[in-house]
A and B are shown apart, each in its own frame.
Chain A
């Protein structure tokens, strides 16, 4: 049976036999960095194409279909175009911050990759405060966006960045509370333990209705946190031209664009890990034969399937709902999502203490 665990163990064993431990560790680090960069580039290409195809289907169009079979190489061509383009820096911009901002956004996305379990025992860093780490790091991306908006010296950029700041700071709360419900149920902040606790069923099934509510709130909050429609006030191309990245061009623009998609992937991966069992196969109670067949599907396929399903749901939101106004956005968070998620957390705590979950 195919498993990524086997490959990593083989590579590690071979490195430690051939070289001394320090050198082997350094080489492992380089391999991990290369893999992460490859994953980023690949995901960027795949997700942009997927978004365009999903958008086209939802809007009764065909979408990209000229470059390669079924438009497969459209995003590759677009990326080549962006690489060729000149990365302009406006005259009155703060040059240092302006050029630094896209890399900050990218770096935050890369840091978030560390604690995610892509398959069984295939994780860069199984930190024991994984959930805390994720919620701490994901709030840093607002710095990159504010930096871009401020350094551009453009009123549209600044307005977009300020909106984004208000939005991310508000929605982090309900995203955090939704994540906390799972932490309460599991009793651990470590992602591998959260996944292990879902051996006999995913939390969305085991946690009754409160877990479903938490899942819905989580999806809404992370859609807002990644600045995607219907919460894309930071970009709002019809109001603010392009919001915080109005002044960016060429590869620096591509980095913002890439970071948006990587962030979607990461939040969906976290959602899949917390609520849908990560790489755990779907097991139904005591159906031994069914469970056995499900075990034959590799864990990496399970993880990617769940993640891409959530990504599809978020894309579905984007192409269905109209954009919220800033006051509606803050109303939704402070009047609806936050009180509901607080009440929900209380309910989950009661369930966890009394042991009512399966």
Chain B
């Protein structure tokens, strides 16, 4: 039985090696599989993965409205104090006071792109954007206010 085991060892070894060589041989013969991005030559046509996390942004729609309620869940979730939510009180048409954001201050220079704020947000107001060209000459330029000037919270988001 030793011989049988020996021969099957050799057989299994050779077939598994050939399997690997088949895969790499396929890649060698199919240049269209190449995934290299020739950055910065192809800056216009650059394709980045969906999951790429470059910075936190707050999407605004056409009416300059966002979905942030100012609940500060992101600020609490952030492990290194990257986000600071400055809130204010709006007066609704019914005469009631309503909490809203004055500014969502985001310190890109402190951010580790851990995605915890995006996960914590109950109204999906912030997300990760696939941008990565963040170099600037002055550190203060990395402190960003995510909500656009004069933007409002979208109707129906509590």
Contacts and interface: CB of A to CB of B under 8 A. Distances in A.
B8 interface: no
A131 to B, nearest CB: 27
B25 interface: yes
Given A316-B21, A321-B20, A336-B10, A61 B28 contact: no
A90 B41 CA distance: 43
Given A54-B28, A316-B24, A61 B17 contact: no
A54 B28 CA distance: 7
A57 interface: yes
B27 interface: yes
A60 B17 contact: no
A59 B10 contact: no
A62 interface: yes
Contacts of A59: 27
Contacts of A58: 24, 27-28
B24 A319 contact: yes
B51 to A, nearest CB: 19
B10 A320 contact: no
Interface stretch (B30-38, B72-80, B82-90, B103-111): B30-38
Contacts of A319: 24
Contact of A60 (B9, B10, B25, B35): B35
B30 to A, nearest CB: 9
Contact of B17 (A62, A321, A340): A321
A316 B28 contact: yes
Interface in A275-330: 316-317, 319-321
A340 B24 CA distance: 28
Which of B27, B28, B31, B34 has the most C-beta atoms of chain A within 10 angstroms of its own C-beta? Answer: B28
Nearest to B32: A60
A320 B21 contact: yes
Nearest to A317: B21
Which of A57, A62, A320 has the most C-beta atoms of chain B within 10 angstroms of its own C-beta? Answer: A320
Interface in B9-25: 9-10, 17, 20-21, 23-25
Contacts of A57: 27-28, 31, 34
Contacts of B38: 62
A59 B17 CA distance: 17
Interface string A48-64: 00000010011111100
Contacts of B9: 336
Contacts of A340: 10
Interface string A19-53: 00000000000000000000000000000000000
B7 to A, nearest CB: 10
Contacts of B25: 316
A53 to B, nearest CB: 10
B20 A62 contact: no
Given A54-B28, A316-B25, A336-B10, A60 B20 contact: no
A60 B28 CA distance: 8
A61 B10 contact: no
B46 to A, nearest CB: 15
Contacts of A60: 27, 33-36
13 contacts: A57-B28, A57-B31, A57-B34, A58-B27, A59-B27, A60-B27, A60-B34, A61-B34, A62-B38, A316-B21, A316-B24, A316-B25, A320-B20
Complex A-B, nearest 5 residue pairs according to Cβ-Cβ distance, in ascending order: A62-B36, A320-B24, A58-B24, A57-B28, A320-B20
Interface of B: 9-10, 17, 20-21, 23-25, 27-28, 31, 33-36, 38
Given A316-B25, A320-B17, 18 more contacts: A54-B28, A57-B27, A57-B28, A57-B31, A58-B27, A60-B27, A60-B33, A60-B35, A60-B36, A61-B35, A316-B24, A316-B28, A320-B20, A320-B21, A321-B17, A321-B20, A336-B9, A336-B10
